[in-house]
């Protein structure tokens, strides 16, 4: 049996992690001081914002792919020191039509994209190297209709990364109900010919392709496809490997009320994503797994210094004085959003009406003053511009406080023109939610402990060769996610300690199913089909789902992509005893009750932590870290 091992990290005791975090804090404080602003802060919380471009990570080259070479860095103005806001139009991704069936082609490759602009609308500085589908970020929007299956052929022409390694991808069609082999399984580093007992099919190596078969039998909703490669999802999503997948209703009478919603030019997709850049206008992100683990991102996630929509910095959109439909995606790796529409003076305009969640419509149209979005979540909203005077400018803003603060998302310019006569009903689509679960599970979200650089699910790092939960096909189950408290006592030898790394919320994503969140207030924002639920720091959330997928293995993980990439991911296996697909008990690697358990089989040397006075080193390091924080003004 193969076992998933990272020898470079498996045996890293917690005091080493502490030292690494300490180095990161000192390094970033130094960089910020030199550049005259604090910029982003890996630890998050309490920081002032800044738009200073700087390079934090060693792995990223100066961006020669798009013409930004070190030979032309001498003139400071060449790098767009002060990019303007609301001067470039919102990019609209092209549409690939799958509603007639057949197959569609998506080719992942490198391209150069204009992200920053000057006041006059001209491009500012060199273009940014992106890794996109069909040459754009976001990639084309795949249109599907309920009941019409088609194939998606994904081709990988990305070539090599900055360390001259072939770039592998695995595409996850987020929210779709697909067979296990089309689920976008990650795959461990270095494995080129997997002989896993559980087949993690789907990795697309450079210059190869993989065909995914969609069925499109589920409820119509707002889905998205993105890279899901183990240990690299955060990097690959930052580089641009994302796109929308819209499933539209068929002619079933249950959808009568949602057949004439705003569409065409009045149905706009907004992928909201934060990014940091080097002074060469290139994405700034750790370029390999070891660097990621050393950044501190693995604890709190990546918070960019600029807010982009559909791959452009703070764009604008001309809208007519009518109804619009916006499909909102929080495509940030780790940042939460609270979105509202405001005037230029900051007065809120309550013109947003929610009509859907990730996996379907909600039952009634509901006016929303603001919309909270966890990473990976989607909300389907209508915006009523009917009574807005032509010439007015309104702003989509983000009021979620997270350093660096990014309040400006995009601008709406109300322009003259007629609008089609769309129907905007109050009653939408009614569903009955899964209920009466026959199995209840509690799933602990465990802070960094032992040899782990990051959070885990149930105290176990991701193991692609195992199933952590066995589910009988067709069973309705209730899963309660809760943030557990290792703390200094339980985690010593060692944990990072309570109070420092314990404050993270976790957007938990379950593949295969759409679930319903338990215990919601009537009319709650989340009262619909969902595939991500935010588990608050120090809190608990329960979901109920019917697991009606085909037998095989599916993922569930935190959608803070840095958490995911340092192994906050697990697998569940659908078994069907009645049809000859029983689960293999030898592959069950259950979550540990009562505390973390490190590895199966030969994963780690169980005596390694006992060889070191880890607890003493941990205390010293924590004291040093605390004093450093105070010295650099972070607390």
3-state secondary structure of 580: coil
CA distance 116 to 214: 36
Nearest-approach distance from CB 592 to Cu ion, in angstroms? 18
CB closer to Cu ion out of 279 and 567 = 567
CA distance 53 to 48: 15
Question: Using CB under 5 A, which of 6, 506, 511, 530 touches Cu ion?
Answer: 506
The answer to the question of residue 216 lying near Cu ion (CB under 5 A) is no
CB closer to Cu ion out of 233 and 560 = 560
Residue 224 contacts by C-beta under 8 Å, 6 or more apart in sequence? 174, 175, 242, 243, 244, 245, 271, 329, 331, 378
Determine whether 363 is exposed, middle or buried from the number of CB atoms within 10 Å of its CB (0-12, 13-18, 19+): middle
**Mask for 603-622, x = binds Cu ion (CB under 5 A):** --------------------
Contact 445, 481 (CB under 8 A): yes
Residue 389 contacts by C-beta under 8 Å, 6 or more apart in sequence? 321, 414
Nearest-approach distance from CB 535 to Cu ion, in angstroms? 8
Peptide bond into 286 cis (omega under 30): no
Stretch that binds Cu ion, among 178-186, 197-205, 417-425, 504-512 (CB under 5 A): 504-512
Q: Report how far apart the first and last C-alpha atoms of the chain are (Å, whole number).
A: 48
CB closer to Cu ion out of 305 and 506 = 506
CB closer to Cu ion out of 214 and 555 = 555
**Mask for 262-301, x = binds Cu ion (CB under 5 A):** ----------------------------------------
Stretch that binds Cu ion, among 46-54, 307-315, 539-547, 558-566 (CB under 5 A): 558-566
Question: Using CB under 5 A, which of 558, 574, 575, 587 touches Cu ion?
Answer: 558
CA distance 148 to 19: 54
The DSSP secondary-structure symbol of 18 reads: H
Nearest-approach distance from CB 233 to Cu ion, in angstroms? 13
Stretch that binds Cu ion, among 212-220, 424-432, 552-560, 569-577 (CB under 5 A): 552-560
CB closer to Cu ion out of 88 and 334 = 334
In this structure, the chain runs to a length of 635
559-598: which residues touch Cu ion (CB under 5 A)?
Answer: 560, 563
Chain centre to alpha carbon of residue 339: 17
CB closer to Cu ion out of 397 and 560 = 560
CB closer to Cu ion out of 90 and 483 = 483
The answer to the question of residue 335 lying near Cu ion (CB under 5 A) is no
CB closer to Cu ion out of 373 and 583 = 373
Total residues contacting Cu ion by CB under 5 A comes to 4
CB closer to Cu ion out of 222 and 560 = 560
- Nearest Cα to 327, choosing from 221, 182, 454, 479? 221
- Reading across the β-sheet that carries 316-320, which strands appear in turn? 316-320, 408-415, 393-398, 337-343, 371-373
Nearest-approach distance from CB 560 to Cu ion, in angstroms? 4
Nearest-approach distance from CB 72 to Cu ion, in angstroms? 40
Nearest-approach distance from CB 496 to Cu ion, in angstroms? 14
Nearest-approach distance from CB 49 to Cu ion, in angstroms? 23
The DSSP secondary-structure symbol of 540 reads: E
Contact 203, 185 (CB under 8 A): yes
Torsion of CA 565, 566, 568, 573, to 10 degrees: 70
The DSSP secondary-structure symbol of 470 reads: E
CB closer to Cu ion out of 466 and 558 = 558
CB closer to Cu ion out of 69 and 482 = 482
Nearest-approach distance from CB 591 to Cu ion, in angstroms? 16
- Nearest Cα to 173, choosing from 531, 549, 515? 531
In DSSP terms, 295 is beta-bridged to none
Interface residues with Cu ion (CB under 5 A) are: 506, 558, 560, 563
């Amino acid at each position: 049996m193969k076992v998933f091992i990272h020898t470079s990290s498996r045996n890293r005791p917690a005091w080493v992690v502490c030292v690494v975090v300490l180095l990161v804090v000192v390094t970033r404080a130094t960089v910020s001081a030199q550049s005259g602003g604090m910029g982003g802060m890996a630890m998050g919380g309490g920081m002032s914002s800044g738009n200073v471009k700087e390079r934090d990570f060693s792995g990223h080259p100066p961006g020669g792919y798009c013409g930004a070479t070190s030979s032309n860095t001498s003139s400071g103005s060449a790098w767009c020191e002060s990019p303007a806001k609301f001067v470039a139009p919102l990019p609209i991704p092209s549409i690939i039509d799958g509603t007639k069936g057949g197959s569609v082609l998506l080719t992942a490759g490198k391209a150069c994209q204009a992200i920053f602009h000057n006041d006059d609308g001209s491009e500012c500085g060199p273009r940014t190297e992106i890794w996109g589908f069909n040459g754009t970020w976001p990639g084309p929007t795949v249109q599907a209709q309920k009941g019409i299956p088609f194939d998606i052929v994904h081709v990988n022409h990305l070539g090599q990364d900055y360390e001259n390694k072939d770039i592998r991808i695995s595409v996850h069609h987020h929210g779709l109900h697909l067979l296990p082999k089309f689920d976008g399984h990650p795959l461990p580093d270095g494995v080129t010919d997997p002989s896993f007992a559980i087949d993690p099919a789907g990795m697309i190596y450079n210059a190869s392709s993989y065909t995914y078969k969609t069925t499109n039998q589920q409820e119509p909703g707002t889905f998205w496809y993105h890279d899901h490669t183990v240990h690299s999802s955060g990097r690959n999503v930052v580089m641009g490997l994302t796109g929308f997948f819209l499933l539209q209703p068929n002619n079933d009478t249950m959808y009568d009320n949602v057949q004439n919603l705003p569409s065409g030019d009045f149905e706009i997709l907004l992928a909201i994503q934060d990014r940091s850049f080097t002074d060469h206008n290139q994405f700034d992100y750790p370029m390999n797994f070891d660097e990621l683990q050393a950044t501190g991102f693995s604890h709190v996630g990546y918070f960019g210094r600029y807010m982009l929509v559909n791959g452009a910095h703070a764009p604008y959109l001309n809208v007519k004085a009518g109804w619009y439909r916006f499909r909102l995606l929080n495509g940030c790796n780790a940042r939460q959003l609270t979105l509202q529409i405001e005037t230029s003076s900051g007065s809120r305009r309550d013109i947003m009406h929610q009509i859907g969640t990730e996996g379907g419509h909600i039952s009634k149209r509901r006016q929303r003053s603001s919309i909270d979005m966890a990473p990976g979540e989607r909300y389907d909203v209508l915006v009523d511009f009917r009574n807005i005077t032509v010439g007015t400018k309104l702003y989509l803003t983000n009021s979620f406080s997270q350093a660096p603060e990014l309040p400006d998302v995009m601008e709406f310019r109300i322009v003259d023109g007629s609008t089609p006569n769309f129907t905007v009903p109050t009653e939408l689509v009614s569903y009955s939610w899964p209920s009466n679960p026959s199995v209840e599970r509690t799933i602990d979200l465990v802070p960094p402990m032992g040899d782990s650089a990051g959070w885990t699910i149930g105290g176990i790092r991701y193991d692609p060769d195992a199933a952590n939960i066995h589910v009988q096909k067709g069973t309705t189950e209730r899963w309660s996610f809760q943030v557990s408290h290792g703390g200094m006592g339980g985690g010593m030898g060692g944990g990072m300690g309570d109070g420092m790394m314990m404050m993270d919320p976790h957007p938990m994503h379950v593949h295969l199913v759409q679930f319903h969140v338990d215990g919601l207030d009537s009319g709650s924002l989340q009262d619909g089909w969902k595939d991500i639920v935010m588990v608050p720091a120090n809190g608990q959330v329960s979901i109920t789902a019917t697991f009606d997928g085909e037998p095989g293995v599916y993922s569930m993980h935190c959608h803070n992509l840095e958490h995911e990439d340092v192994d906050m991911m697990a697998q569940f296996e659908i078994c069907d005893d009645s049809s000859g697909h029983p689960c293999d008990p030898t592959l069950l690697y259950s979550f540990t009750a009562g505390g973390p358990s490190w590895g199966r089989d030969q994963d780690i040397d169980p005596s390694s932590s006992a060889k070191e006075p880890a607890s003493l080193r941990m205390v010293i390091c924590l004291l040093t870290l605390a004093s450093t924080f105070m010295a650099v003004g972070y607390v």
